[in-house]
């Protein structure tokens, strides 16, 4: 009966050690999770800012080209009017060249304006999408960030509590059994006490002799696996 009680405490100790391991591991992965969530918000915000900046630049350029186009049209109209009063072939040729030049520049400017208008439409659509995405990401990630940061801040306190529970428990466990547990844990990690399934150790799947299984069932002494060294127990699910 005493061995059963010791085994119950060892199983509880294994549970505490597993929780301590999870807490220690969370000190590594929680900052990564927080960074990923913050990066998603930051990258979406930066994409929005970049698109808004491009929209401003393209709008300024569009306005500038509109002024240039208006000026070119005015110049063209003036040149075409001058055609009515020229007196020599030389003046006619020079004026014709100027008119052709203005028309080419007008055509080029109009094409550039059309491209900019297309860009403006695309940028406005992008900005709309980024704003919606940022709103969603900020809402979803902010809630997760608050939770994760709270968890990260509380880890040390939780570890301290669990270590206190562990200390209070280890002083009540048989020293030989505790020594075996600590030795196996050092070599095998969290899985120290394992159940028997299908007449085999569930830690390494090595078969257990029938006589040993019968002794384990009695619960009068502690048995370890000859292959992996883990502490063996018989449970209701063992067969």
Q: How much is the pLDDT for 3? A: 62
239 in any annotated domain: no
pLDDT at 238 exceeding the cut of 70: yes
Q: Is the domain of 66 the same as that of 151?
A: yes
30 in any annotated domain: yes
Of 155, 189, 218, the one marking the end of a domain is: 155
For residue 123, the enclosing domain spans 20-155
pLDDT tens by residue, 100-120: 999 999 999 999 999 999 999
Q: Is the domain of 85 the same as that of 181?
A: no
The tokens describing 70, both together, are 């208006």
pLDDT at 2 exceeding the cut of 60: no
164 in any annotated domain: no
Q: Is the domain of 36 the same as that of 96?
A: yes
Q: How much is the pLDDT for 239? A: 67
Q: Is the domain of 84 the same as that of 181?
A: no
Q: Which pTM value belongs to this model?
A: 0.66
Q: Is the domain of 187 the same as that of 81?
A: no
143 in any annotated domain: yes
Q: How much is the pLDDT for 127? A: 97
Number of domains in the chain: 2
Q: Is the domain of 135 the same as that of 44?
A: yes
CA angle, corner 38, sides to 37 and 40, nearest 5? 65
CATH code assigned at 137: 1.10.287.1490
Q: Is the domain of 182 the same as that of 137?
A: no
Going 150 to 156 to 162 to 164, the CA torsion angle's sign is negative
CA angle, corner 140, sides to 36 and 137, nearest 5? 65
160 in any annotated domain: no
Rounded CA-CA distance 35/31 in Å is 6
Stretch 204-210: mean pLDDT: 93
Q: How much is the pLDDT for 1? A: 41
Stretch 38-60: mean pLDDT: 97
131 in any annotated domain: yes
pLDDT at 214 exceeding the cut of 50: yes
Per-residue confidence at 218, pLDDT binned at 50, 70, 90? confident
pLDDT tens by residue, 58-82: 999 999 999 999 999 999 999 999 9
Averaged pLDDT score across all residues of the chain: 93
Q: Is the domain of 88 the same as that of 182?
A: no
Burial of 13 (0-12, 13-18, 19+ CB in 10 A): buried
Of 125, 155, 185, the one marking the end of a domain is: 155
pLDDT tens by residue, 114-161: 999 999 999 999 999 999 999 999 999 999 999 999 999 999 999 999
Q: Is the domain of 123 the same as that of 218?
A: no
Q: Is the domain of 147 the same as that of 183?
A: no
Q: Is the domain of 119 the same as that of 202?
A: no
Of 124, 155, 186, the one marking the end of a domain is: 155
What are the E-state strand segments in the chain?
A: 193-197, 200-201, 223-224, 231-233
Q: How much is the pLDDT for 136? A: 95
Rounded CA-CA distance 228/187 in Å is 9
Q: How much is the pLDDT for 220? A: 82
Q: Is the domain of 109 the same as that of 205?
A: no
């Amino acid at each position: 009966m005493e061995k059963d009680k010791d085994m119950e405490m060892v199983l509880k100790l294994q549970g505490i050690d597993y929780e301590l391991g999870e807490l220690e591991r969370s000190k590594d992965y929680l900052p990564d999770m927080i960074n990923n969530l913050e990066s998603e918000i930051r990258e979406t915000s930066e994409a929005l800012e970049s698109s808004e900046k491009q929209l401003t630049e393209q709008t300024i350029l569009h306005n500038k080209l509109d002024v240039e186009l208006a000026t070119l049209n005015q110049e063209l109209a003036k040149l075409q009017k001058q055609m009515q009063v020229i007196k020599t072939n030389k003046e006619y040729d020079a004026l014709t060249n100027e008119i052709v030049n203005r028309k080419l520049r007008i055509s080029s400017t109009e094409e550039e304006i059309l491209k900019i208008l297309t860009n403006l439409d695309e940028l406005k659509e992008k900005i709309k999408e980024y704003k919606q995405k940022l709103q969603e990401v900020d809402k979803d990630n902010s809630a997760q960030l608050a939770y994760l940061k709270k968890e990260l801040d509380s880890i040390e306190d939780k570890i301290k509590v669990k270590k206190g529970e562990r200390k209070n428990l280890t002083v009540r466990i048989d020293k030989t059994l505790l020594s075996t547990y600590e030795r196996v844990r050092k070599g095998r990690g969290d899985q120290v006490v394992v159940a028997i399934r299908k007449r085999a150790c569930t830690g390494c799947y090595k078969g257990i002799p029938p006589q040993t299984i019968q002794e384990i069932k009695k619960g009068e002494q502690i048995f370890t696996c000859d292959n992996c060294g883990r502490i063996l127990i018989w449970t209701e699910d063992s067969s």
